[in-house]
Structure 1
């Protein structure tokens, strides 16, 4: 039976992604929704993008735009960069592209251009890298950067009273537009977890692959979780974003 799987942040950890897909026992019928941040971290950033381009030829794949993807895309397309990006994984992406041809870089630019800021399925589920701020939902967002930079959606549900129900007057309006929301961007390792975390109707699937955690996937319908080994153990001679 075909599955729909959401996959958390990768940060150049291609070895972790390959191991994860082996453990999922991926079928060509499975649909994969990648929550963004494919680059900036481990040494395989460019190779990860190449792998995803090929993966999309055999499986239905939805690729969401992460903040690191946006920064790497800007550098690839125009040379734009800043010191903060270089300090937070950007240099690893620059290094990863050193041996790539101009044609290969163009294919990757096309890949970045075709990403989605968010994706809604036909069962009232939203998939977005970071979040959105407009009370009326993502379709009314004023600026696209919130989709891949905003942390307030996740911070809000972490601070919510667990007793609040969707019909309550104080239940956040942002959460009422969807049955479920799947995000990445903020590693759950920051709050002491190493598996995807559910708060209210939000699932955070970023399990810290850029640092000391694994790459994770969750079956949207069954909530079964799949994980690689901690990615740092697959790149023992590297620092990642630690």
Structure 2
């Protein structure tokens, strides 16, 4: 059985389907999604429906991202914050045009059930963005950091690569987990098209919402699977490139 971790999808159903095909996903595969399923390309509602159906055939964990928090609020209260609409939310609203109230309720229940992080039996942490507590996620005082924080990733990037885990200067945040898998910050921001590995942190968001591809990584073999660039799959759309 494989465990695959999938990065930010942002409404790109075509990319998700292609990624599943290229990775040859089977019902025996365990799938962990790092959040941000919506906002960007035109098929956000369809992505959620696909994931709901996928959860019936595969063992899946769906971590909640910041865009999912915004969409959940809209589904629950019909509130559309401007910050959301201007960062892909408008496309998400439009994708729900043909969905019934019952289907929207099913999607709301799906969002509501998403955990903010997952820790497996090997002390690997899966989280959308990061955390700030030096004592680990269970001691985080502000849960919004789980889907907004970028300091964990920035800290890992800035670390001296020669620093040993046993060093007193090694960040205590990182010592709690054997590995940490995140999304949220596209690797294309650093001119990298594939997941980036620094310290014990893996960033799997390869910019599918913008000009990148959708990626998955086998956490045991570290084999990477990718779709085509989402821009090529949605040639008549802008995705979040207009943000």
TM-score range, shorter chain: over 0.9
Q: Deviations over 1:38-75 (max 9, x none)?
A: 00000000000000000000000000000000001001
* TM-score for the superposition, normalised by structure 2: 0.98
Residue number in structure 1 paired with 2:162 = 163
* TM-score for the superposition, normalised by structure 1: 0.99
1:64-75 mapped onto 2 (5 Å cutoff)? 64-75=63-74
Residue number in structure 2 paired with 1:172 = 171
Query: Equivalent residue of 1:203, what SS?
Result: strand
Deviation of 1:81 (Å) = 2.2
Residue number in structure 2 paired with 1:112 = 111
1:1-242 mapped onto 2 (5 Å cutoff)? 2-242=1-241
Find the aligned partners of 1:116 and 1:64 in 2 and give their Cα distance.
Answer: 5
CA-atom RMSD in angstroms? 0.5
Query: Equivalent residue of 2:60, what SS?
Result: strand
Query: Equivalent residue of 2:213, what SS?
Result: coil
Aligned residues: 241
Find the aligned partners of 1:62 and 1:113 in 2 and give their Cα distance.
Answer: 13
Query: Equivalent residue of 2:4, what SS?
Result: strand
Find the aligned partners of 2:114 and 2:94 in 1 and give their Cα distance.
Answer: 23
Gap regions ≥5 residues in structure 2: none
Query: Equivalent residue of 2:19, what SS?
Result: helix
Query: Equivalent residue of 1:103, what SS?
Result: helix
